[in-house]
Structure 1
Amino acid sequence: MAAEAEVGTEAPAKKGIPNLFLIIGAALIVVLLAGGGIFFFLSSSGSSDAATQMDGVAGTPIPQNTFIFNLPPMMVNLSTDDGNAAVMKLTIALEVADEKMMTEIQPRLPRVIDAFQVYLRELRKSDLEGSAGIYRLKEELLRRVNIAIYPAHVQNVLFKEILVQ
């Protein structure tokens, strides 16, 4: 009976040690996974360069030292087929690389406004529906402004206000 009593007391002690290793191993895995997640989160958000930042939509670098050239607000009658009047009020800013580009744009501003007015008067209300219509408008205005001010270059067209009635 003494031998059985010793076997009975040793068995739970041996069973407790593997359970302890199992708990410690599971805790170690949790700590390593949490540490890896924190490292991944901090390294992906803190890796932007001081001079550039990544664009959330296209993933292209955006220079931080750009200048904004504000255009005067424009009001344009839109083309209609049914005879109902449609008017668009548009306020635009041009994003340029440096102040030199701003001084090059200033004397060519009448050409830019003319190119915009001619294009905008041919638009219909249906051309401006949805985000795809606004994106097409933005791309077309960027193309036209770069043609009008060549050899200077505008990086982006920014809409400050778009109102269609």
Structure 2
Amino acid sequence: MTKAETAEAKPKGGKGRRVLLLAVPLVLAGAAAGLWFTGILPGLLGLNPPAAAAPAGTAPSSDGAPAAARPAIYFDMPDIVANLNATGRRSSYIKLRSKLEITRAEDAALLQAAMPRLLDLFTTYLREMRPEELRGSAGTQRLREELIARASTAAAPARVTDVLFIELLLQ
């Protein structure tokens, strides 16, 4: 037998066989990944599907329900009138009427007990503000963030989640 005859006698399936051996595991792995990420495969295997994530800022309560499902609790703050840090001879004043949003009804007692400290922190902060710092929505948002931080510090371990402005007057 010559070399040409032996070459013709060999089957020509070597290259196709390699492609098949590589393609089958890749297709199977892709299908398994698709089933896993759609949640079908964990259900078929009897595994618990991953718990749905709660929206940002909500923590589960003691009874397991998300905090967002609970009604909001608001605590009325007394009116605050303070003079602002204004340049020149003309005085500027701010009148602030607000409510604090809290996570638990029990925190209202802690806020009431900390009321002198809350009023002091709020008034001191407002007296250092300049009228131009309160202009626009960005100034109001900065004020809100600072008051939340001060209220959370003064009334710890109570958690103040928001400050709602009922009335905010600048003169």
TM-score bucket of the superposed structures, by smaller chain: 0.5 to 0.7
Which position in structure 1 is the counterpart of 2:151?
A: 145
Alignment of 1:102 onto 2:108: yes
Which position in structure 2 is the counterpart of 1:117?
A: 123
Q: 1:105, CA displacement in angstroms?
A: 1.1
> In the alignment, residue 82 of structure 2 is paired with which amino acid?
V
State the secondary structure of the residue aligned to 2:160.
coil
Alignment of 1:161 onto 2:167: yes
Give runs of ≥4 in structure 1 deviating > 6 Å.
Answer: none
Q: 1:60, CA displacement in angstroms?
A: 5.6
Q: Normalising by the residue count of structure 1, what TM-score does the alignment of the two structures yield?
A: 0.62
Which position in structure 2 is the counterpart of 1:136?
A: 142
> In the alignment, residue 102 of structure 1 is paired with which amino acid?
A
Per-residue Cα deviation, 1:57-87 (whole angstroms, up to 9, x for no partner): xx76672412110001111101111121101
Percent identity between the aligned chains?
A: 36
Per-residue Cα deviation, 1:84-114 (whole angstroms, up to 9, x for no partner): 1101100010001121011111111110110
Give the RMSD, CA atoms, in angstroms: 1.7
Measure, in 1, the Cα distance between the counterparts of 2:104 and 2:57: 19
Which position in structure 1 is the counterpart of 2:75?
A: 69
Alignment of 1:92 onto 2:98: yes
* 1:26-45 map, 5 Å: none
Residues 60, 97 of structure 1: CA spacing in aligned structure 2 closer, same or farther, 3 A cutoff? closer
Measure, in 2, the Cα distance between the counterparts of 1:110 and 1:97: 21
> How many residues of Structure 1 are paired with residues of Structure 2 in the alignment?
109
Measure, in 1, the Cα distance between the counterparts of 2:92 and 2:129: 10
Measure, in 2, the Cα distance between the counterparts of 1:152 and 1:95: 11
Q: Identify unmatched segments of 5+ residues in structure 2.
A: 1-53, 59-66
